[in-house]
Amino acid sequence: MPSFRFDTTWHIEAPIAVVFDVLTDSLHWPEWWPGLVDVQPLEAGNESGIGRTQRFVWKSRLGYYLRFDIRITRVCEPYLIEGRASGDVAGVGSWRLDGNERITRVRYHWQVRTVRPWMGVLARVARPLVTWNHHAMMREGRVGLVRHLGLSTGHSGGGAGREPSRER
């Protein structure tokens, strides 16, 4: 099955602890992240979040739905959240944060492969569209997060008005 590797960087004009708290509260992401239809808790995990498992349902800009579970495998507060995906896609995702009391750089790394046969066909035939869709949804996530934090979406420090994002 086709695999994808995406790196996305956001610059958010907010303290690292605040951004980390919002990212660890993924049950509430649908309130601010367009395209995220639902997040359901499956397992609680330990006090630091290791083992927490949640089911995510995303509606792509291309009209298809992705359903997958994320099981948290590593947390280093306030710098790292890492998890393993299984479902329509399988692989690893990680949020890496660095910053201070003024600005936070968020880097999201998503390395997955498609699991469903129809997704494999779509990915082979329309890979540029799948890539475009991922980047568009990540841009919308950044804008939603900035609004959720009560910040201006126009410019958020350090080039945050754009999202350097690429597939390798």
Residue in the block written with tokens 């035939």 = 125
Cβ count within 10 A of residue 50: 14
pLDDT at 130: 87
Domain spans of the chain, in order of start: 3-167
Q: Which amino acid is at 1?
A: M
**Beta-sheet strands, E only, within the chain:** 3-12, 36-43, 53-59, 65-76, 80-87, 89-99, 104-114, 165-167
**Residue 68 buriedness (CB in 10 A; 0-12 / 13-18 / 19+):** buried
Output the tens digit of pLDDT for each of the chain's 168 residues: 789 999 999 999 999 999 999 999 999 999 999 999 999 999 999 999 999 999 999 999 989 899 999 999 999 999 999 999 999 999 999 999 999 899 999 999 999 998 988 777 877 788 899 899 999 999 999 999 999 999 976 544 433 333 444 433
CATH node for 3-167: 3.30.530.20
For residue 110, list its beta bridge partners.
6, 93
Q: What is the pTM of this model?
A: 0.87
**Pairing relationship of beta strands 80-87 and 89-99 according to DSSP bridges:** antiparallel
pLDDT at 168: 37
Sign of CA dihedral 95, 99, 100, 103: negative
Phi then psi dihedrals of residue 122, to 5 deg: -60, -45
